[in-house]
Structure 1
Amino acid sequence: MRVAIAGAGAVGRSIARELLRNGHEVMLLERSLEHVDPSSVPEAKWVHADACELVSLEAAKLQTYDVVIAATGDDKVNLVLSLLAKTEFGTRRVVARVNDPRNEWLFDPSWGIDVAVSTPRILASLVEEAVSVGDLVRLMTLRQGQANLVEITLPADTPLAGKAVKKLTVTLPRDAALVTILRGGRVIVPQADDSLEGGDELLFVASVEVEDALRTAVGL
């Protein structure tokens, strides 16, 4: 997969290294010449360019990349690049970094963004996931905001203890699916006859509209 990353600061370079380790082809776009340092990520293609300039993006052949990641430290730049990538270059998937949580409401499909990544929200979700038992915690918004990855930790006295997974899945709302069960150090792909236990962490993919119904199905 070919991935273009705008912003070659610490965040952009870290993303690039991870993608390169996984066998992807990466281009780093950086506006500030002093931040252009090919030796820091030698396997990546480096381009000195302004990610908000259409001519620069055309010269970098952005249309040949499968994914664009807007990872600069400026929300305005990330929004403009996301819109250009989607509307002018037909990028299949656009991921954008949210620096200021107050701007998070802007990072949606109307700006060409498929996935918005807000570090404060992720950290808050991880904290909630670590301490919340018997409640629904949103971990991640999935493609185009149509669904969320949510986690529910069953309390010790859950009425589902000892019951088969199929007893739960038949009660789930239409737009919700149980994808895995975390139990201690195990990752369990749920099968119909597997039994549930108190303390199980259940991961669901669910639309926002059915979250209340999901809580009811799990007995919260």
Structure 2
Amino acid sequence: MKIIIIGGGQVGAYLSSLLCSNGHDLRIIEHRKAVYDSLLKQLPAELVLFGNGSDPAILEKAGITSADVVAAVTDADEINLVVSTLAKMEFGVPRVVALVNNPNNSWLYNSGMGVDVGVNQAEVMAHIVVEEMSLNDMFTILKLSRGNYSIIQMQVHQNAKAVARCLKELPLSRDMLLIAIMRGEALIIPKGDTPILAGDEILALADEAGRCTLEEILSEPRNV
């Protein structure tokens, strides 16, 4: 995959090293001389370009016309948005990811500005905190890019309502799917007559309503 990163600060440098080590075709653009020099010590020289990432000529030099992804991760939201708009509207890059530095600007990171994914670190942290506090042993494995669905994993508590009941007896909506049950060393593809046992690890596809349902029937009952 060909990836162009704009911004060689801590986020850009780490992201570049990670992607480079995974064999991706990478270019990173940085306009601050000291930061540029630091990048040259971390990455092969041919991967690092000195210049302004919002300059179309620099983007073309980096190979944006054939890029699969552009990631704008500078510490300035205005630059990230300008780069995103250029990448999507001018060069037709399939996927544009941009870092949100100021949470108050997150509303600007939309498809109209060329942003496919706006990474709001404050929002991500808030979701992690709330999920940890409210969903006990439920973990989000993957958040799908379309709709409000996630693939989640949750362990069945010994006193849960679902224990010793068959799958077909549970109040599961048509908009959620139990993908697998991990029981000890075994992986079970659940069917209607599959019983749920304490300690089972449930892998499911669900929206927010489905997550609440799973928490209700798989976790420790709340005291009323």
Larger deviation: 92-101 or 122-131? 122-131
Deviates more, 1:51-60 or 1:91-100: 51-60
Number of the residue aligned with 1:58 = 60
Q: Is the CA contact 2:72–2:80 (under 8 Å) kept in the aligned structure 1?
A: yes
Match of 2:10 in 1: 10
* Same amino acid, percent of matched pairs: 29
**Counterpart contact for 2:5–2:16, Cα < 8 Å:** yes
- Cα offset for 1:114? 1.7
Does the C-alpha gap of structure 1 residues 187 and 212 become closer, same or farther in structure 2, counting only changes over 3 Å? farther
Provide the C-alpha distance between the structure 2 equivalents of 1:188 and 1:101, rounded to a whole number of angstroms.
44
The two structures have a TM-score, normalised by structure 1, of 0.75
1:1-220 matched pairs, under 5 angstroms: 1-37=1-37, 38-42=40-44, 45-133=47-135, 142-143=144-145, 146-149=147-150, 151=152, 153=154, 156=157, 157-163=159-165, 171-174=172-175, 176-178=176-178, 191-192=189-190, 193=194, 195=196, 197=198, 200=201, 204=205, 206=207, 211-212=208-209, 215-216=212-213, 219=216
What's the offset of the Cα at 1:61?
A: 2.2
| Per-residue deviation, 1:27 | 0.4
Amino acid of the residue matched to residue 67 of structure 1?
Answer: V
Q: What is the alpha-carbon distance in structure 1 between the residues aligned to residue 48 and residue 34 of structure 2?
A: 13
Q: Distance in 2 between matches of 1:204 and 1:197?
A: 20
Instruction: Quote the Cα distance in structure 2 between the aligned partners of 1:189 and 1:178.
Output: 12
Give 5+ residue unaligned stretches, structure 1: none
Going from structure 1 to structure 2, the CA distance change for 1:124 and 1:196 (only over 3 Å counts) comes to farther
Q: CA deviation at 1:141?
A: 5.5
Counterpart-to-counterpart distance in 1, 2:186 and 2:18:
26
Using the alignment, how far apart are the partners of 2:120 and 2:133 within structure 1? 20
Cα shift at 1:93: 1.1
How many residues align structurally?
A: 211
TM-score by length of 2: 0.74
How many Å separate the matches in 2 of 1:158 and 1:202?
16
Question: Which runs of no fewer than 5 residues in structure 2 stay unpaired?
Answer: 218-224
RMSD value, Cα? 3.6
Q: Which amino acid aligns with 1:50?
A: N
CA 1:4–1:130: 2 relative to 1, 3 Å: same
- Whether the aligned pair in 2 keeps the contact of 1:25 and 1:44 (CA below 8 Å) is no
Letter in 1 for 2:96: V
For 2:173, the aligned partner's letter is L
Q: Name the structure 1 match of 2:222.
A: none
Q: CA deviation at 1:136?
A: 8.3
Distance 1:36 1:181, change over 3 A: farther
